[in-house]
Amino acid sequence: MTALRPHAEQQYADELAALAAADDRPRPPGWRLSPQAVVTYLLGDGAKISPKYVGPRRLVEVAVATLATDRALLLLGVPGTAKTWVSEHLAAAVSGDSTLLVQGTAGTAEEAIRYGWNYARLLADGPSPAALVPSPVMRAMETGAIARVEELTRVPSDVQDALITILSEKTLPVPELGTEVQAQRGFNVIATANDRDRGVNELSSALRRRFNTVVLPVPASADEEVDIVARRVAQLGRSLDLPDVPAALDEIRRVVTVFRELRNGLTEDGRTRLKAPTGSLSTAEAISVVTNGMALAAHFGDGVLRPADVASGIVGAVVKDPVSDAVVWREYLETVVRERPDWRDFYRAARDA
């Protein structure tokens, strides 16, 4: 069987191997690549190494340099700014393993960060190493690898604070066994947090001091966002084995334009102010809209991506609240889209969607 979405270290194994073979720079203890090679892996080299992230080089350099110190890394940003994507590829390049993951939710328990117990063995034999169930963070400490914590601000505050001793002392006490797990060289933590979740479970000042925060921005320009969407859509089309539908740049640019204008509350020419919908309208959602349009064109169309193929996806992305967002979308259609002569097909499709 073939995995629907291979892990980064599997999907890009050839690139990682090529970088490792040619990498003659100093590597921090426990790292598979040098910091410079990790940056090249993420940003590409214009030849054999494909870009995994399109954004400011300095941000990636700061993130990689942080992982080479005793500070953990917090990737912060609005939804859809590739925080999870970047954390996965950083872990793959540094440790060769991106799977040591804790998914943060309101129900995340302390055991997910520290350790748990096999209760059958615990009841039968009492506390013992065989009854211990290590968390991904504990396994990362034991092997000198990168642990990932997704959506840290969704984790309850008392559970978040379980990380303080781990990050400051680089040790995890196991008082039930009278022992501890000491982090091996190469261990660190990458956490992600959503700008929109501020105030849900704010990080304590003690925990925040243990992190170096890197804010991942939305794409700076429309051209940059179009490039990101086009690259990712092509990758998804191959991984999903979609019938060949050329990703029309005109339709990708149209989707990106709609998202950017509504996200910014202003048309591209700066002449018309717009109401903003409740959703984030992220780059990730734009990728989803175009990919869905390609599937429609392949299976129910003529194999050419057309305005009607992306219109329904855009409407679904914009109108999250059927009351307020529907008003915002209708106003945008009538005051902006309708007035653009080369958008008439899209206007009719979106109006009827």
pLDDT at 236: 85
Tens of pLDDT, residues 120-170: 999 998 999 999 999 999 999 999 999 999 999 999 999 999 999 999 999
pLDDT at 237: 83
Please give the residue range of the domain that contains residue 266.
222-352
Quickly tell me which residue has 């106003």 as its tokens. Answer: 331
In the predicted model, what is the mean pLDDT of the chain? Answer: 92
pLDDT at 51: 94
pLDDT band at 279 (very low <50, low <70, confident <90, very high): confident
Is the same domain home to 108 and 248?
Answer: no
pLDDT of 198 higher than 80: no
Is the same domain home to 52 and 95?
Answer: yes
* DSSP run (H or E) holding 172: strand 171-174
Those residues with Cβ within 8 angstroms of residue 29's Cβ, 6 or more apart along the chain or in another chain: 144, 185, 186
Is the same domain home to 120 and 197?
Answer: yes
In a domain, 3, yes or no: no
Mean pLDDT of 75-98: 95
Backbone angles phi, psi at 91, to 5 degrees: -65, -40
Domain of residue 209, CATH code: 3.40.50.300
Q: Where are the alpha helices (DSSP H) in the chain?
A: 8-11, 13-22, 35-43, 57-67, 83-95, 119-125, 136-143, 157-160, 162-169, 205-208, 222-239, 249-264, 283-300, 307-318, 324-335, 344-352
CA distance 23 to 15: 12
**Domain's final residue, options 153, 180, 215:** 215
Mean pLDDT of 265-284: 91
Is the same domain home to 234 and 210?
Answer: no
pLDDT of 197 higher than 60: no
What percent of the chain stands above pLDDT 90?
77
In a domain, 94, yes or no: yes
Domains contained in the chain, number: 2
Question: pTM value?
Answer: 0.89
Is the same domain home to 211 and 92?
Answer: yes
In a domain, 198, yes or no: yes
Residue at 262: amino acid letter: L
What percent of the chain stands above pLDDT 70?
97
Is the same domain home to 248 and 322?
Answer: yes
Tens of pLDDT, residues 309-332: 999 999 999 999 999 999 999 999
Tens of pLDDT, residues 221-266: 999 999 999 988 888 888 777 777 766 889 999 999 999 999 999 9
pLDDT of 199 higher than 70: no
Which has more confidence, 268 or 239?
Answer: 268
| Cβ pair 228, 54 in contact under 8 A | yes
pLDDT at 307: 93
